[in-house]
Structure 1
Amino acid sequence: MKTTLLSLVCCGMLFFSAPLLAQTTDSAPIEYSEQVPAPEPGKNALFLRGANWVENRFAFGPTTGFRKDAATGEVRVTGTSKVTPVTASGKDQDYTVRFEFVFRCTEQGYNYSVGSFRCVTDPENPTATVPLDEYISQLAQERSNSRTHNDRRVRAQATALASEIAMSFRSYMNSMPVTDDSTVGLPAADGR
């Protein structure tokens, strides 16, 4: 009796449940942003640190549109990378993508974002770009997409790129040097 009832319940759940998809189509824009509280070194030190990373350690070039403004605490740069969909025959096909990295700081901390991804779909005309989300939609409409899954492939590559940039920047910002090491190793002022 128990096994029959359990079997009926399981069959009913399978019959009436909605089909689940392992991977769904994600329409959210590809971006990464984070707000980081940093009460210590202050706006000027944060700005210098962020600008230094963009000028000397930003590894996603060639870059364009580098701007820094100490008064507003903002640093911007447009970086370049690649995404690699595959052709219907299974060969890799590189496309250039451009994205914006924006860093802003205040006395209370900083925020940064990686976004505004655009794809160069015509290598003969590198100034003509389309938003990456639009390019991914075009890939999803292709007849060979059921085999190549280029829409998911390109979205995953761009998402990984945004995460990689963010991790690199955050790691650099977290390794800020100590501003005053004259008290290292000395007992606290209250005797503890």
Structure 2
Amino acid sequence: MKHLLRGLLVAGFLAFTPAAYAQDFVAAPIEYSERVPDENAEASVLYQRTLDWTENRFTYKPKEVIRTDATKGEIRVSGTVKVKTASNSGQMQERPVVFEFVFRTLPTGYEYSVGYFRVIPDAKNPTTTVPFEEFVSQLAKERNNERTHNDRRVTAQATSLASEIAMSFRSYMNSRPAAGAIE
């Protein structure tokens, strides 16, 4: 009787336990954006500070200044980072990835974003780019992805790079001298 009761309990638990499904990996756009309240700073000061960062401290090269507009307080710059994929033999291969950094002043501070990631699949032809999500989807369909996990690898790297770029900018903006300080 005890064995029958245990068997029924186990069968009941198994019958009502939801099935575990493997998670399908779906590539989401890589982006980091933030709106920073700063009521004490003038828009022109924030703009000039950001312009200085993009010109002198933006280390993600090659870079291209896409647009600067002092009257609107907007700056748009593209930069390049690298992600690594693994081959069948375990060798790591670097792939250049182009991104955009966008800055805008607001009446009560500023906002910035790091996003619009595009992969350069062929280093010999750097003008041809593929949207990051499409590249990750291609990696996920590769036969050896079960072993290399390249889709997850490059997504994690790109996410980390977006955060790193944003932290670099925010750290620079937070280190500006206080208003009225003597320089």
Q: Secondary structure at the match of 1:113?
A: strand
Q: CA, structure 1 residues 11+38, in 2 after alignment: closer, same or farther (shift >3 Å)?
A: farther
Partner of 2:136: 136
- The answer for the alignment partner of 2:71 in structure 1 is 71
Residues paired across the two proteins, number: 178
Task: State how far apart, in whole Å, the 2-side matches of 1:84 and 1:117 are.
Answer: 15
* Cα separation, 2, equivalents of 1:57 and 1:31: 21
Q: CA deviation at 1:66?
A: 4.1
Alignment-mate amino acid for residue 86 of structure 1:
A
Q: 1:15 to 1:143 in 2, by over 3 A?
A: farther
What letter matches 1:133 in structure 2?
E
2:19 aligns to what?
A: 18
2:32 — aligned with what? 32
What RMSD over aligned residues (CA atoms) do the two structures have, in Å? Answer: 2.2
* Structure 1 residue identity aligned to 2:54: V
Range with bigger deviation, 23-32 or 52-61? 23-32
Alpha-carbon distance between aligned partners in 2 of 1:89 and 1:13, rounded to the nearest angstrom: 41
Cα 1:71–1:17 change in 2 (3 A) is same
Q: Deviations over 1:101-127 (max 9, x none)?
A: 000012311000011100110122111
Question: 1: CA distance between counterparts of 2:148 and 2:124?
Answer: 25
User: Which stretch shows the higher mean deviation, 101-110 or 11-20?
Assistant: 11-20
Q: Which runs of 5+ in 1 are unaligned?
A: 183-192
2:67/2:76 contact within 8 Å kept: yes
Superposed, 1:1-192 pairs within 5 Å as 8=9, 12=13, 16-19=17-20, 21=22, 25-181=25-181
C-alpha separation in 2, matches of 1:59 and 1:138: 29
Return the alpha-carbon distance in structure 2 between the equivalents of residues 153 and 11 of structure 1.
40
Q: Structure 2 vs 1, CA of residues 66 and 146 (structure 1 numbering), >3 Å: closer, same or farther?
A: same
SS of the residue aligned with 2:65? Answer: strand
Report runs of 4+ in structure 1 exceeding 6 Å deviation: none
Kept after mapping to 1: 8 A contact 2:118/2:131? yes
- Give, in whole Å, the separation in 2 of the partners of 1:145 and 1:156: 15
Bigger mean CA offset, 111-120 vs 24-33: 24-33
1:22-80 CA distance string (max 9 Å, x none): x6524321111011111011111111111111111111011013431110100111000
Q: Tell me if the contact between 1:42 and 1:106 (Cα under 8 Å) persists in the aligned partners.
A: no
Q: Spell out, residue by residue over 1:160-189, the C-alpha distance to the aligned partner (whole angstroms, 9 max, x if none).
A: 00000001111111112112148xxxxxxx
C-alpha separation between the residues in 1 aligned to 2:30 and 2:181? 41
SS of the residue corresponding to residue 53 of structure 1 reads helix
Q: SS at 2:79's partner residue? A: strand
Instruction: Describe the shift of the 1:139–1:109 C-alpha distance in structure 2 as closer, same or farther (beyond 3 A).
Output: same
Tell me if the contact between 1:101 and 1:112 (Cα under 8 Å) persists in the aligned partners. Answer: yes
Q: Which residue of 2 aligns with 1:186?
A: none
Q: CA deviation at 1:13?
A: 6.2
